[in-house]
Chain A
Amino acid sequence: MTSASLASSSEALKRPPRRINWGLILTYAVVIIVTLTMLAPFVWMLSASLKLDRDVFAFPIEWIPSEPRWQNYIDIWTKIPLGIFVFNTTKLTVIVTVLQLLTSSFAAYAFAKLQFPYRNALFLAYIATIAMPWQVYMVPQFILMREFGLNNTHMALICLQAFTAFGVFLMRQFYMSIPDELCEAARIDGMSEYGIWWRIMLPLSMPALSTLTIFTFVNTWNDFLGPLIYLTKTDLKTIQIGIRMFITQYTQEYGLIMAASVVSLIPVLIVFLALQRFFVEGIASTGLKG
């Protein structure tokens, strides 16, 4: 058996690489076709955003417009308050992300490293709601916000997105993996619990924080149903429902709609490319532990 396998491996060494290449070419062909298909809607969007409305549906598709109409990208800022929408979305996203990071890492530290009464019961409250779809309690939540006078305010969306069970759970899992001895040593040195959290835990948990940042950022930026329910005043709207309003007002202005869509994708694209590694690692780790 050994001699046979040795023979085959030496054969493999001598074999010209031609046969392997065919498999590789096939793989590349499939990969390129698949990715082009996945990318096609985006390319079409970009291309349509630079066209006159009547040219958008011209067939065969003119992927690169012969006379790119940059005017579309100027018009969208004047025809609809796109600037306000972008500002509102950015404001909400930044506030929610910062609050989420601070409060969940803060709470997660206690759940992971401190002993106190009802610790498990409180943590169970978080765990029990992770699987609870938001859609199940969005109506009572809306009533509650209305009672608080938060309807048609950004505060409502901040309140409902900043304190998630997911954030606490994710951070707690990460802190569990940090050895307790590290905290003990710091305590013996006279560091307060807040100091340990700020000087030891936060710097060590950069990967988990990055994962939480990108998840929260993307979720808040792309949130649709929340703003749809809570924000009916135009100057409060986020980019998602702002664009939807634009679509219903200017159904035929395809070029402009596409330009607005491209603009709404850019921030997500930038954050995604910058933090992609953490995103992918985050999905892989939280996903499999889930």
Chain B
Amino acid sequence: MTTSTEKTAAATGAGPSVHAAARPPVRTAVSKRRRKIMNTLIAYSFIAPNFIGFAVFTLGPILFAFVLAFMRWDGSNPMEFAGLDNFWRLFSDRVFQAAFWNTIIFTGFVVPLTLICSLGLAILLNQKIFGRNFFRTVAFFPYVASLVAVAVVWNMIFNPEFGPVNMILYTLGVDPSNLPGWAADRHWAMVTVILFSVWKNMGYFMVIYLAGLQGISAELYEAADIDGATPLQKFWRITLPQLAPTTFFVSVMLTIQSFKVFDQIFMITQGGPGTSTLVLVYHIYNQAFISWDLGYSSMVALVLFLLVLAITIIQFRWSQRNEGDTA
């Protein structure tokens, strides 16, 4: 439609303004449209390198995941439509149910414990003390440290027979028969993984809390000082309420992160003993890469997706409501 006029416009190229003076209405309309097309092409050329990779390796697989959840496939033979078979299987699969509840239990402990520890750290390291940056760095380092390395140390330190933690407990007078079996004990394995996760991640959330603390107006504390408030009162009446948005945000992030837990469990307990620390992602991994039951594994992945989606919706609603309040 526009090709021939476009070409003339392209040929005249550099000096459209001269022609514009001679035949204003047609020229400006054509060059405007041409410029618009050029601009669009330029814009798409900016997006293309990232978007093509993103579409092929992220969007595509995501859509495929939803299809696969309703299929029966071992990855080599032809795929079969399975209807809701995979869905019904969730209700008879004891291992899935264990994985589901273990994920909930893990999240239920990790979220509050990490919140308390990271807030405590943040308050402690927000004070004007000597070497504050050094202490902050130390508190943050476990978060960036590679998981395999620290998980290995963790396993050694918490070794039930000769690890230093049990040695210390023993010297403190704990009876050898009562010493916790940590990762090797069905009742303690989850505790071990939870402790590890809190230790590894609290530095990250401390940084977020530090930013939150620095956002609280100093005037509030000055006013409280004038009224003679105790430090504890200031904490409950100013710090905590002022940090509510941060706490909400941290809880959401922590919850989603806990739902996705895998690495540390793979390294520390391998989901065991039995199924005592088996979590959803572990089940997805086992079903896909050990049993090659790709359809069912995607159904379990769908459950994980729905859990995360629920949290995301709650977060979205909450932030919408709060923006409405301030507006």
Contacts and interface: CB of A to CB of B under 8 A. Distances in A.
Nearest to A36: B138
Nearest to B215: A288
B156 A31 contact: no
Contacts, number: 264
Contacts of B84: none
Majority SS of interface residues in chain B?
helix
A268 B148 CA distance: 13
A114 B42 contact: yes
B181 to A, nearest CB: 16
Nearest to A193: B42
B148 A224 contact: yes
A92 B147 CA distance: 18
Nearest to B125: A31
A71 B147 CA distance: 25
A169 B260 CA distance: 21
Contact of B199 (A38, A244, A283): A38
A80 B11 CA distance: 65
B46 A197 contact: yes
B65 A129 contact: no
A57 B153 CA distance: 12
Nearest to A288: B211
Interface in A112-141: 114-117, 119, 122, 125-126, 129, 131-133, 135-141
Contact of A193 (B46, B49, B60): B46
Given A35-B135, A138-B288, 15 more contacts: A39-B141, A44-B164, A106-B47, A116-B39, A125-B55, A129-B58, A135-B304, A140-B68, A222-B147, A225-B285, A243-B149, A265-B145, A272-B144, A276-B137, A288-B212
Contacts of A30: 124
Contacts of A159: 53, 56-57
29 contacts: A31-B124, A35-B138, A39-B138, A42-B145, A56-B156, A107-B47, A107-B50, A132-B305, A133-B256, A138-B284, A139-B288, A140-B62, A141-B61, A142-B289, A144-B56, A144-B60, A162-B53, A165-B58, A168-B50, A193-B46, A221-B146, A222-B147, A228-B266, A254-B156, A257-B152, A258-B152, A264-B148, A264-B149, A283-B207
